[in-house]
Amino acid sequence: MAIGRGRQSGALSEAYAGAVPDMVIVAPSGASATAVQTTSGMENRKEVSYPSRMLRIALAALHLLALGIGFGAVWARATALSQNPIDRRAARRAMQADLWWGIAALLWMATGFWRLLAGTEKASAYYMQNHVFFAKMGLFMLIFALEIWPMVTLSKWRGLDKKLGDAWEPDAKQAARIRAISMLEATILIAMIVAAVMMARGFGA
């Protein structure tokens, strides 16, 4: 009977160890053997150092900050070019907003790829198996493709503005096209935010 009770107690200990995470179960002292079980989560847990935690926070904050700056900049560019008729002053406001849009894009890409490749949030394999992540990257590439023409055109505008000064007048058709592209890019950015929220909630894995 004593042996039977010992085996039963050990079996119960093993069962509770599998059901309750991160706990250590020890069989009663009267049992024939002491059963000590730990979950794999505790065995595989890695202590995260303080600098690593701060790096994660800094990268996440900069990534979100870049997103906010970028959205505001591309919206400001579209707003500046909505003036009709378009003049040099409005064009210069658009070029200034475009500069911030470029800075935000660089910061966004740098922090995003750092978080992806370094695995500061999740392992890189998680992203590679997440279809929402690929949808988000597809939207990002779409913005990049849409931005090529406005980037080249506004670069030419800067050269003409510097060379001709007050004699230069921006092209109204080009301004309208850049405005339309900017509005589309702002809409795509919102879709990317939705995708990021879905990933944070575990969708797509």
Torsion of CA 49, 54, 57, 61, to 10 degrees: -160
Could you tell me if 57 and 28 lie in one domain? no
Could you tell me if 136 and 84 lie in one domain? yes
Q: What is the pLDDT of residues 29-55, one digit of tens each?
A: 444 443 444 444 444 444 546 568 888
Could you tell me if 162 and 189 lie in one domain? yes
Q: What is the pLDDT of residues 62-112, one digit of tens each?
A: 999 999 999 999 999 999 999 988 999 999 999 999 999 999 999 999 998
Owning domain of residue 186: 50-200
pTM above 0.75, yes or no: no
Could you tell me if 108 and 196 lie in one domain? yes
Q: Hey, what amino acid is at 10?
A: G
In a domain, 169, yes or no: yes
Q: Is the peptide bond before 170 cis (omega within 30 degrees of 0)?
A: no
> What gap in Å lies between CA 142 and CA 164, rounded to an integer?
34
> What gap in Å lies between CA 8 and CA 19, rounded to an integer?
17
Could you tell me if 8 and 88 lie in one domain? no
Number of compact structural domains in the chain: 2
Could you tell me if 137 and 191 lie in one domain? yes
Could you tell me if 137 and 55 lie in one domain? yes
In a domain, 185, yes or no: yes
